[in-house]
């Protein structure tokens, strides 16, 4: 009797364990990808597809538009979606476009590309240089739009295999004006289960990607302060109240917020990037305007910096007998980009399947740059990653983002298009598999 009792207990244990593993995707061995990542990359690398993407990127680069002014950009996107036979909504958040590929039914997964350029005069001399004085795609958003259109082409080609709906988010105003929040407020992401976004980076080798679970980009805010004194002749400073001296003391004191008040293990930045005051060598001005940015990885740290910036500017100016007004730029507060842990595992599997294990940096160091992609992550699970462009042997060194000498290595376009398509398509496959298992076992968890 003892033998049969132990045999029964062992059989029951194995049955329960098998059920638990089959009902939890995080415990199951990875499913073979139904939509093959390598096939997507091969498709994107076809000469006709690559040339098509290069043509789009160069048209966008020649005609950059600033935040909330992306009318020609939006028109080009809609024209290409019409050619591909992709349905879309327009306008969304004034210039935004939301496309749809798949069944039109749940589940929904989103892919996002930002559209806007920067107020920078391009210094790169080449055939497709910006035609608009003082405006340039210096952050690679022209490449981002192109890669999302490339993903649309791939997904449309494989639409019969899509088990749900891929939502294409062409977002305006990432650089300013809170474009992501406006997309959300317009209801464009209702019922979307997850969203993916990418950014080109010049210091990662071509064919490689980097990201991490958890915080990957800092939150940020911007401020401007007017420090007012009393102007007069520079030869008689005793008859004036010098706002330049006051502003100088303010700037030095602001640096102490990080060096002496912040936890050294809690990365923070305060940078003064604007200082305007005076117009003559022998005149003390009435006022000085300074401005800058502050960054941190938590809302609590951002709010603490905001409070102390006001106190330091006001207090230090008062020491020099000056008055101040401090303003925080409307809609400039951006939360940190924090990647969802389960989506990180999905990204790792898809990226390694496409590029190879050695080409995926899963523990990329967080950076102090900010991105309004975080607005999406505040309402749905989201994942943001960086894709490399560096190829010194054939393309030479690349300048940093936001530089007037910034260039895009167009060999990155197939990688971004294929990764976008594979992340979305295979997310829907996994989602459907999980829904099936959950239905069978009585669980209702999301992926």
Q: In which order are the strands placed within the sheet that holds 108-114? A: 87-92, 96-102, 165-171, 108-114, 192-205, 382-390, 209-210, 360-361
φ and ψ of 305, to 5 deg: -60, -40
Place of tokens 């294990």: 357
Torsion 131-134-140-145 (CA) sign: negative
Q: Is 322 annotated as contributing to ligand binding? A: no
Torsion 296-298-302-304 (CA) sign: negative
CB 146 within 8 Å of CB 114: no
Give strand pairing partners of 391: 396
Q: Is 139 annotated as contributing to ligand binding? A: yes
| Structural tokens at position 60 | 């966008």
CB 183 within 8 Å of CB 113: no
Q: What is the SS3 assignment for 246?
A: helix
Q: Is 346 annotated as contributing to ligand binding? A: no
Separation of alpha carbons 399 and 402, rounded Å = 9
CB 309 within 8 Å of CB 257: yes
Separation of alpha carbons 418 and 35, rounded Å = 11
Place of tokens 């800058």: 292
CA angle 98/102/107 to nearest 5° reads: 85
| Structural tokens at position 94 | 């004034």
Strands 165-171 and 108-114: parallel
Residues with Cβ < 8 Å from 431, sequence gap 6 or more?
A: 107, 109, 163, 164, 193, 446, 447
Separation of alpha carbons 60 and 80, rounded Å = 12
φ and ψ of 17, to 5 deg: -60, -45
Give strand pairing partners of 432: none
Residues belonging to the binding site are 139, 141, 175, 199, 402
Residues belonging to the binding site for Mn(2+) are 139, 141, 175, 199, 402
């Amino acid at each position: 009797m003892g033998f049969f009792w132990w045999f029964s207990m062992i059989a029951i244990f194995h049955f329960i364990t098998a059920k638990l593993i089959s009902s939890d995707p995080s415990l199951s061995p990875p499913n073979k990808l139904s939509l093959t990542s390598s096939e997507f990359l091969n498709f994107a690398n076809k000469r006709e597809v690559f040339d098509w993407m290069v043509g789009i990127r160069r048209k966008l680069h020649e005609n950059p538009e600033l935040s909330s002014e992306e009318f020609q950009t939006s028109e080009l996107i809609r024209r290409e979606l019409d050619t591909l036979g992709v349905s879309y909504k327009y306008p969304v958040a004034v210039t935004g476009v939301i496309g749809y590929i798949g069944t039109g039914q749940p589940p929904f997964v989103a892919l996002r590309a930002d559209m806007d350029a920067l107020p920078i005069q391009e210094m790169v001399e080449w055939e497709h240089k910006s035609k608009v004085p003082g405006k340039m795609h210096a952050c690679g958003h022209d490449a981002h739009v192109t890669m999302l259109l490339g993903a649309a082409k791939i997904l449309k080609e494989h639409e019969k295999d899509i088990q749900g709906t891929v939502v294409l988010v062409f977002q305006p105003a990432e650089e300013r004006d809170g474009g992501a929040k406006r997309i959300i407020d317009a209801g464009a992401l209702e019922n979307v289960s997850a969203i993916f976004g990418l950014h080109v980076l010049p210091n990662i080798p071509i064919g490689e990607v980097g990201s991490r679970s958890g915080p990957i980009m800092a939150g940020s805010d911007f401020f401007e302060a007017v420090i007012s004194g009393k102007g007069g002749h520079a030869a008689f400073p005793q008859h004036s109240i010098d706002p330049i001296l006051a502003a100088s003391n303010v700037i030095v004191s602001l640096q102490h917020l990080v060096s002496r008040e912040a936890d050294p293990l809690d990365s923070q930045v305060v940078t003064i990037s604007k200082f305007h005051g005076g117009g003559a060598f022998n005149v003390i001005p009435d006022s000085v305007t300074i401005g800058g940015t502050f960054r941190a990885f938590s809302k609590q740290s951002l709010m603490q910096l905001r409070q102390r910036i006001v106190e330091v500017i006001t207090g230090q100016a008062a020491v020099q007998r000056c008055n101040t007004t401090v303003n925080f730029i409307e809609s400039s507060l951006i939360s940190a980009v924090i990647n969802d842990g389960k989506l990180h595992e999905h990204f790792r599997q898809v990226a390694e399947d496409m590029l190879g294990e050695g080409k995926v940096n899963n523990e990329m160091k967080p950076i102090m740059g900010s991105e309004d992609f975080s607005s999406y992550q505040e309402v749905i699970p989201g994942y943001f990653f960086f894709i490399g462009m560096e190829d010194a042997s054939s393309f030479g060194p690349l300048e940093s983002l936001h530089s007037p000498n910034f260039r895009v290595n167009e060999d990155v376009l197939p990688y971004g298009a294929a990764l976008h398509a594979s992340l979305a398509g295979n997310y829907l496959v996994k989602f459907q598999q999980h829904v099936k298992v959950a239905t069978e076992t009585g669980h209702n968890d999301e992926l």
